[in-house]
Chains A and B, each alone.
Chain A
Amino acid sequence: MTTEQQNKSKTLIRERSAKRRSLYKSIDRVMQFIFRLCGLIAALMIILIVFFVAARGIQVFLPGYENPVSLGEFLTGMRWRSDQGVYGVLFIVINTIVTAFFAGLIAFPLSVLSALMIVKIAPKRLSNALTTVVELLAAIPSVVYGVFASGAITGIVEKIAGWFNYTTFGGNSMLAVILLLAIMIYPTITSMAVVAIRAVPESHELGSLALGASRTQTNFKVVLSSAKSGIFAGLILGLGRAFGEATAVSMVAGNAFIGPTWNPFDLTRTLTTTMLSGLHETVGVDYDVRFSVGIVLMIIILVSNLAINALRKKMESGD
Chain B
Amino acid sequence: MKNLKKILVLVLALVMMISVVTACGGDKKAEKETEKATEKETEKATEKETEKATEKETEKATEKETEKATEKETEKATEKETEAAPAGEMTGQINVYTRDAASGTREGFEKVVGFEDQLTDKANEVASNGEMATQVGSDVQGIGYVSLTTDFAANNLHPANYEGVEPSIETVIDGSYLLSRPFCYTTRASGDYESDEKEQLVKAFIAFMTESTEGKEAVLSAGGIVDVDDSTPWEELKADHPIVDQDNSTITIKTGGSTSVEKTLTAALEAFQPLAGNFEKVVEQTGSSDGWKRTLGGDKDGPNRADIGFASRNFKDEEPTEDAISAAKYCDDAIVVVIEKNNPLTNFTQQNLFDIFTGAVTNWEDIAK
Contact = CB atoms under 8 A, between A and B. Distances in A.
A44 B249 CA distance: 43
A263 interface: no
Interface string A242-265: 000000001100111110000000
Given A83-B117, A128-B4, A170-B138, A281 B125 contact: no
A277 B1 contact: no
Nearest to B12: A136
Interface string A158-188: 0000000001011110000000000000000
B95 A169 contact: yes
Contacts of A81: 101, 117, 119, 121
A84 interface: yes
Contacts of B100: 255, 277-278, 281
A169 B134 CA distance: 12
Nearest to A147: B134
Interface stretch (B201-209, B218-226, B287-295): B287-295
A282 B117 contact: no
B116 interface: yes
Interface string A14-33: 00000000000000000000
B139 A280 contact: no
Given A254-B125, A277-B125, A280-B286, A170 B101 contact: no
A281 B4 contact: no
Given A125-B4, A255-B100, A281-B288, A83 B119 contact: yes
Nearest to B131: A251
Interface in B68-127: 92-93, 95, 97, 99-104, 110, 116-117, 119, 121-127
Contact of A278 (B103, B110, B138, B142): B103
A24 B127 CA distance: 58
A167 B101 contact: no
A129 B135 contact: no
Interface string A133-174: 100000000000000001000100000000000010111100
Contact of A170 (B8, B95, B287): B95
A81 B93 CA distance: 22
Nearest to A85: B117
B141 interface: yes
Given A83-B119, A258-B121, A167 B95 contact: yes
B259 interface: yes
Contacts of A251: 131
Contacts of A83: 101, 110, 116-117, 119
Contacts of B116: 83
B95 to A, nearest CB: 5
A167 B92 contact: yes
A52 to B, nearest CB: 16
Contact of B287 (A84, A255, A267, A280): A280
Give the interface centre of B116, B121, B125 by most chain A CB atoms within 10 Å: B125
Contacts of A154: 138
Nearest to A255: B125
Interface in B276-325: 286-290, 293
Residues of A in contact with B, size category: 35 or more
B104 A281 contact: yes
A229 to B, nearest CB: 30
A242 B293 CA distance: 34
A129 B125 contact: no
B210 to A, nearest CB: 24
Nearest to A155: B138
A9 interface: no
Contacts of B97: 169
A67 B136 CA distance: 35
B127 A277 contact: yes
B202 to A, nearest CB: 24
B102 A172 contact: no
A47 to B, nearest CB: 23
A259 B258 CA distance: 31
Nearest to B94: A167
B29 interface: no
Given A167-B92, A172-B135, A283-B289, A129 B101 contact: no
A180 B135 CA distance: 17
A286 interface: yes
A278 B134 contact: no
Contacts of B110: 83
Contacts of B286: 280-281
B121 A255 contact: no
Interface string B225-253: 00000000000000000000000000000
B124 A255 contact: yes
Given A167-B141, A254-B124, A129 B289 contact: no
B135 A170 contact: yes
Contacts of B99: 278
A256 B119 CA distance: 12
A129 B104 contact: no
Contact of B102 (A133, A167, A282): A282
Interface of B: 1, 4-5, 8, 92-93, 95, 97, 99-104, 110, 116-117, 119, 121-127, 131, 134-136, 138-139, 141-142, 258-259, 286-290, 293
30 contacts: A81-B101, A81-B117, A82-B101, A83-B110, A83-B117, A128-B4, A150-B134, A167-B92, A169-B135, A170-B95, A170-B135, A172-B135, A254-B125, A256-B122, A256-B124, A256-B125, A257-B121, A257-B125, A258-B121, A277-B125, A277-B127, A278-B103, A278-B127, A280-B259, A280-B286, A281-B102, A281-B286, A282-B101, A283-B289, A286-B101
In the complex, the 4 A-B pairs of residues with the closest C-beta atoms, listed nearest first: A278-B100, A170-B139, A281-B287, A278-B102
Given A83-B110, A132-B4, 14 more contacts: A79-B121, A81-B117, A129-B4, A129-B8, A150-B134, A167-B93, A170-B138, A170-B142, A172-B124, A276-B127, A281-B102, A281-B103, A281-B104, A282-B287
